[in-house]
Homo-oligomer: A and B are copies of this chain.
Amino acid sequence: MFIARVTGSVVSTQKIDTMTGHKLLVVEPYRLEGEKRESLVTTGRTFIAVDTLGSGEGDYVLITQGSSARLTPETKELPIDAVIIGIVDTVHIDRAAVYARNES
């Protein structure tokens, strides 16, 4: 999995039928940087993921890729390869929080 920030959303009306009603979010993978990995920085890449948790723009989320993206109750049998499996509350490195949702 990887940490990503939700930056936007995508709308598509002409689509595979089973995709109807599924929220599609734009997410940007982040990585840890700095001598003590104290900074959470963007990778500059862009993915689209299905959201079933009510994630919103600005949230940091956990993304699962590949066939495992179909292993949630609402995504079984969908033709998708990325899903949000959690909204990140905190990221701790060396027992120090480098990200905490309420403080951001």
Contacts and interface: CB of A to CB of B under 8 A. Distances in A.
Contacts of A53: 14-16
Nearest to A3: B48
Contacts of A81: 1, 64-66, 68-69
Contacts of A45: 31
Interface residues of A, number: 65
Contact of A37 (B8, B47, B92): B8
A93 B62 contact: no
A13 B85 CA distance: 11
B3 A10 contact: yes
A10 B75 CA distance: 24
A57 B85 CA distance: 23
Nearest 3 CB-CB pairings of A with B: A12-B86, A15-B86, A31-B46
